[in-house]
Amino acid sequence: MSKLRSVKGMNDLLPSEIGRWHRLERAFREAVERYGFAEVRTPIVEPTALFVRSIGEATDIVEKEMYTFEDKADKSLTLRPEGTASCVRAYLEHSIGNVEPVSKWYYLGPMYRRERPAKGRYRQFYQAGCEVYGDPGPYVDAELIDLVVSYLSALGITELEVQINSLGSGDTRERYRDSLLAYLRPLASKLSEDSQRRLERNPLRVLDSKAPEDQAIAAEAPSLLDHLSEDDRAHFADLCAALDAFGTPYRVEPKLVRGLDYYTRTLFEVKGLGADLGAQNTLCGGGRYDGMIRELGGADTPAIGFAMGLERLLLCLPDAEAEDTLDVFVIVQKPELRLEAAKIARTLRAEGLAVDADLRGTSMKSQLRRADRSRARFAAVIGEAELAAGKVQLKDLRAGTQEDVERSSLVARLAR
């Protein structure tokens, strides 16, 4: 029988590495909740039509990457490839707009895309993101970008580049689309096969292509910023002014369009410059999607959001001192004292301490090795002498010291 393995591009996260994930997730929750965001959890499986309508039929995600299947009722379902569409569906389904003028949500969880696995890029991957509904910006746009930079900087990821652009609103995109098509059509034969196929349906995707031949042509393409309406120019100028006021560094990148069809006005990406991420060095991306809620059947509601891939953040995360995972590891000198070890562990856990014990009857040397591997701060050792005296020998595994402590005062001593 062949050995069973995980699906390609879908990885196990073992206890030995999960501490770094917890550090990212804990810091993210703390950061966004300071900005007034509340957590939302949506299903992993959604109707396929949700992503086709929101992301766009001519995107790589919908055309090539979604995990789509028919359930037993012959309904087409898809493992969510990104978080925004699911959040919008929940916002509409529960009529949140009727009870809150502005909603600020965040999420953490797995997403699924069947693309080629690469460094920091997997088929099951984890994203953290934020969405704001009801505020047309531009100051909330700047605040969201500043939040991302502040979060990454607090993690020690400081070699960053923030790129911003505006797609405009109303008919701006159509006017720019016409201008871009006029430029691209004479060069169509030089484009990549994918870009040739999508040229008439979605020419903006040429600007987002990673194919070298497309990038060379895109470098000379007309600028989106030259096609903005007066209102769009004012919105973008106010965004830049707010970022300047915050002291958040950025660079205007007129070719930034991103790979999803739902974006309007503000777009941004935060790129990591200090880690070996290869060509995929975008740590965070986001922007406005003011038309999505209306297109999915809701009222005309402004919205903006971002998402960041946790695997890529881990590649950039500086090495940190390992955190203690246990407060106490209880050790016995003889197997017949195991029940006493279990009783002490139970008492300490009831006081809110994280405690473990090896109750197999192994040697004291083996138990001490387990205590070290578990990264416990203290070891509480019980022998016959300690049991008779009502004490434990408390070893500080970090400082390398030890002392005898009355069992009745053990909790107070550990609290100190």
* Model pLDDT, residue 258: 74
The CA-atom distances, in angstroms, between 309 and each of 23, 34, 210, 363 are 14, 21, 19, 44
How many domains, the chain?
2
Domain finish residue from 290, 316, 342: 316
* Model pLDDT, residue 263: 85
> Among 374, 370, 360, 368, which Cα is nearest to 400's?
368
pLDDT-derived band at 278 (thresholds 50, 70, 90) equals low
Answer whether residue 185 is part of any domain. Answer: no
Same-domain check for residues 19 and 125: yes
Which residue has better confidence, 414 or 322?
414
* 52-56, 148-152, 380-384, 405-409, range with the lowest pLDDT: 52-56
Same-domain check for residues 250 and 355: no
What is the C-alpha separation between 195 and 214, in angstroms, rounded?
A: 8
Domain that holds residue 384: 326-415
**CATH code assigned at 340:** 3.40.50.800
A 10 A CB-CB count for 72 gives 5
Domain finish residue from 316, 346, 363: 316
pLDDT-derived band at 87 (thresholds 50, 70, 90) equals very high
Answer whether residue 150 is part of any domain. Answer: yes
Does 188 score more than 90 pLDDT? Answer: no
* Model pLDDT, residue 247: 95
Answer whether residue 181 is part of any domain. Answer: no
Segment 136-155 shows an average pLDDT of: 95
> Among 207, 182, 202, 178, which Cα is nearest to 267's?
207
Please answer whether residues 314 and 21 qualify as being in contact, where contact means their C-beta atoms are separated by less than 8 angstroms.
yes
> Among 292, 275, 291, which Cα is nearest to 283's?
275
Please answer whether residues 130 and 104 qualify as being in contact, where contact means their C-beta atoms are separated by less than 8 angstroms.
yes
Share of the chain above pLDDT 70, in %: 96
Same-domain check for residues 240 and 384: no
pLDDT digits (tens, 9 = 90+) for 320-359: 655 667 899 999 999 999 999 999 999 999 999 999 999 9
pLDDT-derived band at 62 (thresholds 50, 70, 90) equals confident
Side-chain half-sphere exposure of 37, counting CA atoms within 13 A: 25
pLDDT-derived band at 63 (thresholds 50, 70, 90) equals confident
Segment 15-39 shows an average pLDDT of: 94
**CATH code assigned at 276:** 3.30.930.10
Non-local CB neighbours of 231 within 8 Å, separated by 6+ positions: 169
Same-domain check for residues 277 and 330: no
Same-domain check for residues 305 and 330: no
What is the C-alpha separation between 339 and 223, in angstroms, rounded?
A: 74
pLDDT-derived band at 221 (thresholds 50, 70, 90) equals confident
* Model pLDDT, residue 290: 92
Segment 132-145 shows an average pLDDT of: 96
pLDDT digits (tens, 9 = 90+) for 146-185: 999 999 999 999 889 999 999 888 778 778 888 888 888 8
Helix (H, G, I), strand (E, B) or coil at 255: coil
Domain finish residue from 316, 342, 358: 316
Same-domain check for residues 406 and 377: yes
Answer whether residue 44 is part of any domain. Answer: yes
Does 211 score more than 90 pLDDT? Answer: no
pLDDT digits (tens, 9 = 90+) for 363-385: 989 999 998 888 899 999 999 99
| Average pLDDT of the residues of the chain | 90
Answer whether residue 95 is part of any domain. Answer: yes
Answer whether residue 189 is part of any domain. Answer: no
* Model pLDDT, residue 279: 60
Answer whether residue 283 is part of any domain. Answer: yes
Q: Label the pairing between strands 251-252 and 160-166.
A: parallel
Same-domain check for residues 235 and 86: yes
Same-domain check for residues 147 and 253: yes
Q: In sequence order, what DSSP letters do the residues of 207-218 get, joined into one string?
A: HH---HHHHHHH
Hunting for tokens 């040229």 — which residue is that?
199
Q: In sequence order, what DSSP letters do the residues of 46-104 get, joined into one string?
A: EEHHHHHHHH-TTSHIIIII--EEE-TTS-EEEE-S-SHHHHHHHHHHTTGGGT-SSEE
Strands (E) located in 181-245: none
* Model pLDDT, residue 226: 87
* Model pLDDT, residue 325: 77
Same-domain check for residues 350 and 240: no
pLDDT-derived band at 259 (thresholds 50, 70, 90) equals low
Same-domain check for residues 361 and 242: no
Same-domain check for residues 253 and 394: no
Share of the chain above pLDDT 90, in %: 60
* 143-152, 175-184, 228-237, 253-262, range with the lowest pLDDT: 253-262
Segment 23-28 shows an average pLDDT of: 94
Answer whether residue 353 is part of any domain. Answer: yes
Same-domain check for residues 330 and 309: no
Tokens encoding 92: 């509409």
DSSP 274: S
